[in-house]
């Protein structure tokens, strides 16, 4: 007969105290979420009591078959996998093809018989969203349609905070004396981009300036924003360059910096540039990109919490949840470049809420 697994066995396996393990198994609020997840996962592996039957659910991650999307959300997916594994669920990556969206057809494995919940990433097509919800499977969305800012919707959305962070970035530029600031990005691509545009617009108007479309590059997202050649052509088409650009994300900001270099325009001496998301390349581009830091791993664990709540309480009120962000000043803006360049580190400003 197999020897019974004890709390001490779990503690020894993880190098933790018996008291910590006991508190985690009883959902004590003092235990950090990451530690609790490790303990629950080990309890399942060792077949401790009722945790031995924990592995019995499947969560589908629905996203477009775009390697850039998957790469961008890698840390978020990692956070989801860790949190789901600790609670006995498998995460199944399911790619949505363009023809699926055109035909309003769900992938074959998406049905209530083998999927307990769905997380949607980069699904911004309203009829297809309705098709997903029509499957009757508990679903949460990371980001959503731009019109959900003002229109009603019938599903849970998790996002990073966008509007105040972009307001702060734009206000920083205005406080340096900039009056002519452009926005780069399709504000109708998704809710996040639209909220970033709202933050930009609000900062301009609060400072007595009307956003001038002549300084912005905002065609729809079918255009190759990440192509330096395309971005260079867009910059050349502007009658007059602004003195700063606020970009909808880091990839666009990096494209803008490289295109400006092609035009022999110095950043930040002649034009300042900001991004959003704080991706790895934002730190290594020359000059390093001023941006907004998000917390993708924590977003992943929070998504799991929201989805499991939805699974357990399918009729509860719908939620829109924001995770905090923080501004990171680097060399692509003069304030960082002049004030802190010698220190060689980024300056981080956290929002007051």
The reported pLDDT for the residue numbered 152 is 75
What number of helices (H) and strands (E) belong to the chain?
14, 12
- pLDDT, tens digit (0-9, with 9 covering 90-100), for 231-256: 999 999 999 999 999 999 999 999 99
d(CA 353, CA 348): 15
Percent of the chain with pLDDT over 90: 69
Residue 16, both tokens:
């933790």
Per-residue pLDDT band for 335 (boundaries 50, 70, 90) equals confident
Instruction: Give whichever of 12-16, 24-28, 86-90 has the largest mean pLDDT.
Output: 12-16
Mean pLDDT of 21-30: 79
Residue 322, both tokens:
């924001």
The reported pLDDT for the residue numbered 51 is 61
Which residue has better confidence, 21 or 169? 169
- Provide the strand spans (E) within the chain: 57-64, 89-96, 117-121, 139-142, 156-160, 181-184, 244-247, 272-274, 291-293, 320-323, 326-329, 347-349
The reported pLDDT for the residue numbered 349 is 42
Per-residue pLDDT band for 24 (boundaries 50, 70, 90) equals confident
> How much is the mean pLDDT over the chain?
89
The answer on pLDDT for 298 being more than 90 is: yes
Domains belonging to the chain, first-starting first, are 57-161+297-323 (3.40.50.2300), 163-294+326-349 (3.40.50.2300)
Sheet of strand 181-184, all strands in order from the earlier edge strand to the far edge: 181-184, 244-247, 272-274
The reported pLDDT for the residue numbered 52 is 54
The reported pLDDT for the residue numbered 56 is 63
Mean pLDDT of 9-25: 89
């Amino acid at each position: 007969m197999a020897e019974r697994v004890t709390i001490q066995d779990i503690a020894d396996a993880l190098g933790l105290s018996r008291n910590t393990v006991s508190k985690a198994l009883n959902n004590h609020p003092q235990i950090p979420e990451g530690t609790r997840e490790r303990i629950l996962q080990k309890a399942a592996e060792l077949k401790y009591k009722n945790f031995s039957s924990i592995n019995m659910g499947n969560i589908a991650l629905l996203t477009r078959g775009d390697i850039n999307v998957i790469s961008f959300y890698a840390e978020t997916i990692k956070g989801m996998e860790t949190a789901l594994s600790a609670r006995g669920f498998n995460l199944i990556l399911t790619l949505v093809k363009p023809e699926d969206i055109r035909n309003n057809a769900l992938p074959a494995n998406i049905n209530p018989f083998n999927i307990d919940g769905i997380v949607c990433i980069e699904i911004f097509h309203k009829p297809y969203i309705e098709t997903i919800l029509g499957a009757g499977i508990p679903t949460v969305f990371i980001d959503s349609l731009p019109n959900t800012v003002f229109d009603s919707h019938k599903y849970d959305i998790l996002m990073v905070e966008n509007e105040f962070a972009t307001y702060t970035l734009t206000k920083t530029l205005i406080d340096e004396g900039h009056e002519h600031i452009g926005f780069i990005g399709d504000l109708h691509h998704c809710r996040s981009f639209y909220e970033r545009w709202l933050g930009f617009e609000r900062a301009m108007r609060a400072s007595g300036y009307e956003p001038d479309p002549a300084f912005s590059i905002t065609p729809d997202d079918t255009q190759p924003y990440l192509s330096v050649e395309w971005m260079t052509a867009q910059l050349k088409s502007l009658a007059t360059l602004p003195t700063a650009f606020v970009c909808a994300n880091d990839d666009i900001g990096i494209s803008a910096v490289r295109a400006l270099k092609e035009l022999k325009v110095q950043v930040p001496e002649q034009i300042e540039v900001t991004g959003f998301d704080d991706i790895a390349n934002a730190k290594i581009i020359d000059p390093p990109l001023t941006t907004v830091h998000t917390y993708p791993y924590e977003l992943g664990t929070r998504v799991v919490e929201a989805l499991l709540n939805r699974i357990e309480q399918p009729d509860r009120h719908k939620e829109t949840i924001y995770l905090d962000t923080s501004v990171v000043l680097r060399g692509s803006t003069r304030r960082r470049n002049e004030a802190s360049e010698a220190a060689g580190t980024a300056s981080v400003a956290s929002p007051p809420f």
